[in-house]
């Protein structure tokens, strides 16, 4: 394995550029020749494969997103396009690829591995932190910090105007961002798809707190519930408080990567390359129990992620506290 490539697939996250920097520096130190694949799996099909060097990663560690860009590829579902991708890799004498992405990216990685002799190593990279087998995915800490700053700023306005604010976080099917953000920002309400909630319980508690002098509320809800506007109206009609919504959207994906995400990028990439050099053909680097491990793609991409019980217990306290 002399030539090795890296690509980003699916949603971008802060920390990807840090991963690219480590990838170039570590591969060169190992006597390998690094390549960038631009535009994810689409770039594999279109042969956007370019040799990389130190100059390509100079100064990028502070930047969010990914220098080599990312994409989602419908063409990749068709076998003749995957064959084209394989041919393009082999034309550059590339026999190993590191893929930063989520479940969909790893499924695509598995298909290529099954259809060729090319080895693949996956690195979990999604702010939703919803990948089975790993406790952490690249970009999560930066996203949580972006949300933290946003909620802290909104709280100032909520307190100044005696309003309720309903803040929507990302999380297509997972409430991780909403739950952790609500817990660490001191929110009064947290609604996520993993836990049932009873608005009557919240109503009794909030009305009582208003009588005792509370002048504003912060509610954090996951986009997976698709009920942000309904909750805003609920505050006005049931709690009798003027309410606003703040949908954080894609700002959660960007921003200057935190120290934690830079270090995790360093470790993930190191483990991925070491695994490939050690003969692992198709694995995903996972972080759990304070260390790194390699799991088969089937144990990651084809299993349903579940929030840790320790987090769910904390989430249930929101409902417990709402009972009077």
Question: Would you state the torsion angle of the CA atoms of residues 300, 306, 307, 308, taken in this order, to the nearest 10 degrees?
Answer: -80
Burial of 112 (0-12, 13-18, 19+ CB in 10 A): buried
Between CA 70 and CA 65 the distance in angstroms is 9
Single out the catalytic residue among 46, 56, 103, 128. 128
Tokens of 193: 């798809």
Q: What are phi and psi of 96, to 5 degrees?
A: -150, 140
Residue 128 annotated in active site:
yes
Between CA 154 and CA 310 the distance in angstroms is 28
Q: What are phi and psi of 316, to 5 degrees?
A: -65, -25
Tokens of 314: 């904390």
Report which secondary-structure segment, H or E, holds 209: helix 199-211
Burial of 185 (0-12, 13-18, 19+ CB in 10 A): buried
Asked if residues 171 and 128 have their Cβ atoms less than 8 Å apart, the reply is yes
Q: What are phi and psi of 71, to 5 degrees?
A: -165, 165
* Catalytic annotation, residues: 128
């Amino acid at each position: 394995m002399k030539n090795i490539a890296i690509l980003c697939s699916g949603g971008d996250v802060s920390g990807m550029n840090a991963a690219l920097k480590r990838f170039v520096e570590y591969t060169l130190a190992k006597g390998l020749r690094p390549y960038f694949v631009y535009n994810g799996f689409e770039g594999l099909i279109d042969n956007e494969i370019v040799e990389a060097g130190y100059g390509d990663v100079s100064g990028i560690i502070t930047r969010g997103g990914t220098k080599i860009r990312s994409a989602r590829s419908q063409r990749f579902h068709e076998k003749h396009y995957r064959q084209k991708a394989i041919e393009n890799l082999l034309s550059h004498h590339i026999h190993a690829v590191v893929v930063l992405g989520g479940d969909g990216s790893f499924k695509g990685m598995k298909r290529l591995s099954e259809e060729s002799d090319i080895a693949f190593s996956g690195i979990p990279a999604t702010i939703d932190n919803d990948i089975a087998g790993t406790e952490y995915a690249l970009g999560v800490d930066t996203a949580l910090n972006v949300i933290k700053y946003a909620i802290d700023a909104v709280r100032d306005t909520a307190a100044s105007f005696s309003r309720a604010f309903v803040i929507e976080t990302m999380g297509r099917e997972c409430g991780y961002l909403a739950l952790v953000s609500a817990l660490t920002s001191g929110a009064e309400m947290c609604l996520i798809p993993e836990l049932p909630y009873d608005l009557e319980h919240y109503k009794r508690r909030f009305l009582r707190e208003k009588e005792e002098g509370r002048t504003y509320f912060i509610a954090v809800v996951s986009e997976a519930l698709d009920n942000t506007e309904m909750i805003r109206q609920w505050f006005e009609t049931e709690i009798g408080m003027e309410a606003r919504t703040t949908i954080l959207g894609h700002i959660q994906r960007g921003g200057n990567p935190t120290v934690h995400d830079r270090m995790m990028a360093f470790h993930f990439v190191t483990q991925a390359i070491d695994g490939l050099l050690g003969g692992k053909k198709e694995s995903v680097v996972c972080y759990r129990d304070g260390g790194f491990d390699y799991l088969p793609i089937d144990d990651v991409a084809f299993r349903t992620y579940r929030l840790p019980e320790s987090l769910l217990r904390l989430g249930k306290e929101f409902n417990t506290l709402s009972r009077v």
